[in-house]
Chain A
Amino acid sequence: MGATAKATNTITRKKYATIFALIGAALILISIIVAVAAPKDQVYDLWMYILLVGIVTGAYGVFQLLRKEQHSVPVEFSRSNAKTFLTNNAIMIALLALVVFIMIKEPRFMKYQVLLDIMTQASPRLIIALGICFTLLIAGTDLSAGRMVGLAAVLSTSMLQTATYANRFFPNLPALPVIVPILAAVAACVLFGVLNGFLVAKFDMHPFIATLATQVMIYGACSLYFDMPPNNSQPIGGVRPDFTVIGQKKIFQNIGGSTFVGISVLIPIALITCVIIWFVLNKTVFGKNVYAVGGNREAAVVSGVNVFKTIMLIFILAAFLYGIAGVLEAARTAGATNNYGNGYELDAIAACVVGGVSLNGGIGKIGGIVSGVLIFTVIQYGLQFIGVSPMWQQVIKGIIIAVAVAIDMGKYRRR
C-alpha cells in the first residue's frame, strides 16, 4: 500500500476482484429471477441483457482473481483514476446510458430481435470500416469506398437476374454460376483499388485527392454501365434467389423450437472478416508495416520496409472488402442502383474515428472499430425506434463524432 495514499481509498486487488465476481454473480441471479418472474409482455428479454452484463462483470472478476501474482497490487480510487477511466470508456458509458434510456422509453427495445437486427445492420458497415481503417492507419483516407460498394452491387446484380424477369440487364445472358458475377464485381473494385494505391504510392499523392479522383471515376463508370440499353438507368430488380440468400438467409432457425427468428448469415460473415483482418493486422509482417508506415513513414523506409508494396496492398485489400460489402448489400436488398453506397465512406470513417483510430496514423485497434460501428448503428436504430426525426438523428450523430474525437484526442495530448 502506498504511503501517501489514504487507507480509505485503497483496497487490495483481491478484494477488488472479489467484488466484481460477486456483482457478476448477483446480476446473473437477478437475470434468472427476471426471466422467471417478471411479466414477459412488459420487460420482454431484459433478463438476457442483465445476464450478459453479469457474465462480463463476473468474468472480469474471476479473471483478476486467477492472476495470483497481481493480488498484492493495491487498487486506488482517486479522482485522477476515475477521470482516466471515464476518458478511456466515455463512448461505451454514453452508449450504455443511451440504451438504458431507450429501453425505459420504449420497452420493446428489450426484445432480443432488436439486438439481432442491429447486428445485422452493422455487419456490412463493419466490413467497409475494416477496409477503410487500413487507409486511416497510414494517415490517409479513402473517399472511394462508398462508390465501390455501389459498383460491386450494380455489377453483381446485373448478371444475376432471374430468366423470367421482364427488364433484364442482359436479356440473353445464360444463368451464370453465382460465384462468377461476384468475383467479377470484387475484381472490378480491386482494379480501382490498384489505381488508388498506385496514385498514392507512386506519385506520393495525398490519399484524399487520389481517392477523390477515383471516387468520381467509379461513379461515372458505374453510371455509364447502369445506363446501357436496354436498362437505361432502371433500378435493377428480379435478382436470383440463389444470390439473395447470401444476404438474407437466417441460420439456426430451428433451435429452441420454432419461436427463434434465426441469426442473419451476415453476422457470422462479418465476424469471420473481423477475425481475418485482426490476424492480418496483428500477426503478419504486412500488418506491422501498416502501423510502421503510419507511425513514421521516413523511418519505415530506412528500416527496409517496402513502402510502395505496403501502400498498394492496403488499397487493394480495402477495395476487396468494399467489393464484398457491396455484394452483400445487393444480396440483402435484392437490387441495386448506381447510387448505392453513396456516403458510406463517411459513416465508416466516423465509426473508425469514434472507435479510436487516429487520423494522424499509426494508432487503431480492431476492437475499437467494432465498437465504433456498433455505436453508430445502435444510435441510428435506437433513435428511429423512439421516433426521433431523421433530421435530429443527423444532428445527434454529428455531435457524437465531435465529442467522441475530442475526448479521444485528450488521451494522446501530452503535457
Chain B
Amino acid sequence: MGEYVLEMNNITKEFPGVKALDNVSLKVRPGSVHALMGENGAGKSTLMKCLFGIYAEDSGEIILEGKPQKINSSKQALDLGISMIHQELHPIRFRPVMENIWLGRFPKRGPAVDHKAMYEKTKELFKEVDLDVNPKTLAGNLSASTLQLVEIAKAVSYNSKIIIMDEPTSSLTENETAHLFKIIKKLQSEGRAIIYISHKMEEILKISDEVTIMRDGQCVGTWPANELTTDLIISRMVGRDMTNRFPPKEYTPGTDVVFKVDDICSPLPRSFQHVSFEVHRGEIFGIGGLVGAQRTETVEAIFGLRQIVSGTIYKDGKEIKIKSPRDAMKHGFALLTEERRATGIFPTLSVLDNTVIATENEGKLVHHSIINDFARKKAATDSNASMRTKTPSMLEQMQNLSGGNQQKVLIARWLLTDPDILILDEPTRGIDVGAKYEIYTIMHQLIKEGKSVIMISSEMPELLGMSDRVMVMCEGRVTGIVNAGECDSVKVMELATKFM
C-alpha cells in the first residue's frame, strides 16, 4: 500500500449537455478526514457517486490501496470497503431500525433470518457508536437527526476503509454534531479514511486534515486544513470571471413596489420564518442561499402550494390572500418550479397540451369550457416560437424533448398566462449554455415589458449577473438584501452561511 488509501485520477463524467466532472483528481490518506468543498453543482456529489458505483465515469481511474478498480455497483463498492452516507435518507419507514441496517445481508440461521442475532449485532453496533436506540423501533418513528446517526452507524457496520459522508450534519443539532465528531475521531484512530462533504466552514476547519475544493466540475486544488481560513475557502470556491455569460441589460427597474411580502412564517419551525421583501416593477429579484435555506419553500408558499401561518402579502399595494395556485394565478403570479420532472411536465401529453394547460384553466382560449382547437394551437405555437423551443411538432410527447426544451415549454406555458410576476426557481438547472442564454434573454424581455421576475438560483454568477437585487437566505431566515451591482460572491456566501 502506498501513501494513499484511495486515488481518483483524472475522472471525467459528462451528462447530456453538461460536463459534470472535468479531469478531477482526489487523493485520500488512510486515517484522515478529507473534506470536499464547492458550490452547489460543483460536482462533489457526482464525484462521490462515481466512487460509490452509482455513476460510471467516462474516463479516469480509481485506485484502491494501490490496485486499480472498476466500480460498477454500490454493492461492489461496499464489498471493496467503501460505504456512503447519503444526503437524502431513504429509510424503510415501517420496518425496525435493525432491519434497515442489515438489509441485504441479514444474519441467517439456515434459510431463516436470525432476528436474535440481528438484534444482538445491532445492539453491539449502537454501543460502539454510543447511540441509545432500541433496534426494534420502527425507522419511521425516529427523528431525522437520530436517523442520520443510525445511518452513520450503518456505514460503520460495513467495516469500510473509506466512509463517504455527504452533508451528514445538515439535520443534526449542535450536540449531535459533537457526537458525530467523536465517532469520526474514533473511526480515524482505527485507520479508516473519511471523505467529508459539507458547506459548513467551521466544521470543515475543525474536523478535517485536508481540503479539496471543486468548482464547475473541476478541481481547484487540495490544501492541508491548517493552511486555510474561511475567507480563503470561499474565494477559492467562487473565484471565476463573469464576462459575457449574460446578455447586456438595457433597462433600469422602476421604483414602485408591485409586490410586497411582510413577515411571513411557515408552520414548520425549521422552514422559512419572518421573511419580508419588496419587488419593484421591471426588476429581477434574485434569491440566493445554500441548498436547504428554504428558498423554494418560501416561493411555493407565496404561490399557494404551502401553508403560511402569519404575515401578509401585498400586490399593487393591496393585501391579498393566496390559498392555492389558482388564487395566485388570478393575482398575476406564475411559478416555474424547481423540479421539472416532478412538478412541471406532463410527460405523456403533447407539447401543445403542456403549453396551454395553465391558460385554459384560467378560462382563456376556451368557450364555455369547450376548447378552441384553432386558438390553442396558435397560442401554443406562438408562445413556443418566442421561446425558440425545438420540437418536431406541437403534438410530440413532452417526454421526448430534451431537458432544455422541456424547460422552454414550461416557460412558454407561464408566459401564455401573461403574469405580472414570474417566479423562476432554478430556471437554468441542468440545461446547456445556449439554452441558458436564451432564457436570460427572455427574462430581460419580460422586465422591459414592465413585468417583474423573482429568481432563485444556486449559481452564484447567474444570481449576481442577472439580478438587480439579491436576497440571501440561511436556515429559513433572510440574512440580507443587497444590490447585485455593489456586491460580490464572497459577500453573498458570507450571508448564506451566517448561521452555520
Contacts and interface: CB of A to CB of B under 8 A. Distances in A.
B325 A302 contact: yes
Interface in B318-367: 325-326, 329, 335, 337, 342-349, 353, 357-358, 360-362, 366
A306 B326 contact: yes
B110 to A, nearest CB: 36
A285 interface: yes
Given A292-B357, A306-B361, A299 B343 contact: yes
Contact of A291 (B342, B349, B362): B349
Nearest to A310: B361
B353 A292 contact: yes
Interface string A183-225: 0000000000000000000000000000000000000000000
A280 to B, nearest CB: 10
Contact of B360 (A285, A301, A358): A285
A387 interface: no
A400 to B, nearest CB: 25
A304 B358 contact: yes
A304 B353 contact: no
Interface in A119-168: none
Contacts of B343: 296, 298-299, 301-302
Contact of A288 (B342, B344, B353): B353
Of B305, B357, B366, chain A has the most CB atoms within 10 Å of the CB of: B357
B348 A363 contact: yes
Nearest to A301: B325
Of B303, B335, B344, B349, chain A has the most CB atoms within 10 Å of the CB of: B349
Contact of B370 (A284, A358, A362): A284
A304 B349 contact: no
Given A295-B346, A296-B345, A303 B357 contact: yes
A318 interface: no
Given A291-B353, A292-B353, A285 B371 contact: yes
A358 B397 CA distance: 15
B346 A291 contact: yes
Contacts of B305: 301-302
A295 B349 contact: yes
A305 interface: yes
A71 B366 CA distance: 36
Interface in B1-56: none
A362 B348 contact: yes
Contact of B346 (A283, A284, A301, A362): A362
Contacts of A302: 303, 305, 325, 335, 337, 343-344
A300 B413 CA distance: 12
A296 B347 CA distance: 8
A305 B357 CA distance: 8
B481 to A, nearest CB: 27
B369 interface: yes
Nearest to A291: B349
A289 interface: yes
B348 A303 contact: no
B425 to A, nearest CB: 11
Contacts of B369: 284-286
A279 B348 CA distance: 20
B357 A283 contact: no
B371 A304 contact: no
Interface in A286-337: 286, 288-289, 291-292, 295-296, 298-306
A284 B371 contact: yes
Contacts of A363: 348
B346 A304 contact: no
Interface residues of B, dominant DSSP: mixed
A363 B360 CA distance: 20
Name the interface size band of chain A: 20 to 34
A295 B353 CA distance: 11
A362 B349 contact: yes
A138 B369 CA distance: 20
A358 B366 CA distance: 28
Contact of A303 (B325, B370, B371, B373): B325
A304 B325 contact: yes
Nearest to A358: B348
A283 B371 contact: yes
Given A299-B343, A302-B335, A288 B357 contact: yes
B366 A285 contact: yes
B325 A292 contact: no
Contacts of A298: 342-343
B106 to A, nearest CB: 30
B16 to A, nearest CB: 15
A98 B113 CA distance: 51
Nearest to A282: B371
Interface string A348-375: 0000000000100011000000000000
Contacts of B373: 283
B346 A296 contact: yes
A387 B261 CA distance: 76
B49 to A, nearest CB: 22
B361 A303 contact: yes
Contacts of A304: 325-326, 329, 357-358, 361-362
A411 to B, nearest CB: 12
B371 A299 contact: no
Contacts of B353: 288, 291-292
Nearest to A362: B348
Nearest to B368: A284
Contacts of B346: 291-292, 295-296, 299-300, 362
B423 to A, nearest CB: 11
A292 B349 contact: yes
A289 B371 CA distance: 12
B359 to A, nearest CB: 9
A303 B413 contact: yes
Of B305, B337, B346, B413, chain A has the most CB atoms within 10 Å of the CB of: B346
B202 to A, nearest CB: 37
A266 to B, nearest CB: 28
Interface in A33-52: none
Of A292, A295, A299, A306, chain B has the most CB atoms within 10 Å of the CB of: A299
Contacts of A286: 369
A233 to B, nearest CB: 44
A410 to B, nearest CB: 16
10 tightest CB-CB pairs across the interface, nearest first? A295-B346, A362-B348, A298-B343, A304-B361, A303-B358, A304-B329, A303-B357, A304-B326, A296-B346, A295-B348
Interface of B: 303, 305, 325-326, 329, 335, 337, 342-349, 353, 357-358, 360-362, 366, 369-371, 373, 413
Given A298-B342, A302-B344, 6 more contacts: A283-B373, A285-B369, A296-B346, A302-B335, A302-B337, A302-B343
Interface of A: 283-286, 288-289, 291-292, 295-296, 298-306, 358, 362-363
20 contacts: A284-B369, A285-B371, A288-B357, A289-B357, A291-B353, A292-B346, A292-B353, A292-B357, A295-B348, A296-B342, A296-B345, A299-B344, A300-B357, A302-B303, A303-B413, A304-B362, A305-B361, A358-B348, A362-B349, A363-B348
